[in-house]
Amino acid sequence: MEDENSLVVEILHGFLGNERAHNPGRAQISFDCPVCSYDIKGLDKGDGKGNLEINYAQHVYKCWACSETNGTHGHLGKLIDRYGRKKDREMYELIRPDEFIREEKQKKKLVLPVEYKKFKDVHPVHIPRREAYNYLKRRGVTDEMIEKYDIGYCEDGEYKGKIIVPSYDSNGELNYFIGRSWNPREKFKYKNPEAPKELLIFNESRIDWSKDVWLVEGVFDGFFVNNSIPLLGKFLSDLLWETLYEKVEARITICLDGDAWLDAVKIYDKLSGGRLYGKIDIIKLPLDKDLGDLRGDVPPECYVKLEK
Ligand SMILES: [Zn+2]
């Protein structure tokens, strides 16, 4: 462990230069941030501020000045891949912790199932296509939504019998998809790829941050209101919280299923502060209803005013 720590420090010296502070007991070391100093300010000698803090036992880094604006935080491997020399990257591979390798490989490898088909590419009388399509129609999903959200389906393979809805991250890269069974007798309604839901934002690529944003529970709810983010559950992840805080320019409307009112209030409390104070609306649906049931038509009396 000692050896590994000193190797990481040596690698860091190699491409970041001299440290500005170092606490070996806590495995904390700080350097001038390459992102703020070089990329932004155009300084090739660093800005002398030592804002880039690294914990080499935990293999994480964060810049106190630009982590929010430039995403300068995360696993140390990302920093070394981006700013290290070839030699630094090779040395780091020797001690790179396993769990991070696995995580990063998983992220890179996510692709849609090979059996995924678009509705428009299959003849309408073909039976599985018709079943899948009729299921969507029953839930109020229109042809425009199918087109807009890249909705497809699988008639074979691991996702056989599932409607597929892909999710793309802010760079337009696939970061998740859901597989929803169209057969009501199927025991498992959903089959989704393994991915940490708290580390992804469903279809962030489709969000216009200058407009009002809706927070909804499920992907199907999201089809019925503009500019919506499905939580894939009833909780607001820290990642989504931070992203909303940073990016939302207009208002946020929280609309969970009718049976999740208390969870909706928790999200309201979490969001309603700082620069988002006074910009959060909340909707209380009838107990047995969700946005999909209502096709996105929320009766005016469901808008609730909360004190805060
Ligand atoms: Zn920085």
Q: What integer pLDDT is reported at residue 273 of this predicted model?
A: 87
Q: What integer pLDDT is reported at residue 242 of this predicted model?
A: 87
Segment (H or E) for 246: helix 238-247
Per-residue pLDDT of the chain in tens (308 residues, 90 and over written 9): 678 899 999 999 999 999 999 999 889 999 999 888 876 666 677 788 899 999 998 899 999 988 877 888 988 988 998 889 999 999 998 888 876 665 655 556 789 999 999 999 999 999 999 999 999 999 999 999 999 999 999 999 999 999 999 999 998 999 999 999 999 898 889 999 988 788 899 999 999 999 999 999 999 999 999 999 999 999 998 889 989 999 999 999 999 999 999 999 999 999 998 889 999 999 999 999 999 999 999 999 999 998 75
Contact 155, 123 (CB under 8 A): no
Give the distance (Å) from ligand 1 centre to CA of residue 11.
19
Q: What integer pLDDT is reported at residue 268 of this predicted model?
A: 96
Q: What integer pLDDT is reported at residue 38 of this predicted model?
A: 72
Residue 202 main-chain phi, psi, to 5 deg = -70, 125
Residue 261 CA, chain-centre distance (Å), reads 23
Give the distance (Å) from ligand 1 centre to CA of residue 230.
31
Question: Which of 182, 15, 35, 9 minimizes the C-alpha distance to 95?
Answer: 9
Span between the terminal Cα atoms of the chain, in Å: 49
Give the distance (Å) from ligand 1 centre to CA of residue 56.
18
Give the distance (Å) from ligand 1 centre to CA of residue 283.
39
Give the distance (Å) from ligand 1 centre to CA of residue 130.
53
Give the distance (Å) from ligand 1 centre to CA of residue 31.
10
Q: What integer pLDDT is reported at residue 263 of this predicted model?
A: 95
Q: What integer pLDDT is reported at residue 207 of this predicted model?
A: 97
DSSP 257-293: -GGGHHHHHHHHHHHSSGGGTT-EEEE---TT--TTT
Convert the pLDDT of each residue in 217-231 to its tens digit. 999 999 999 999 999
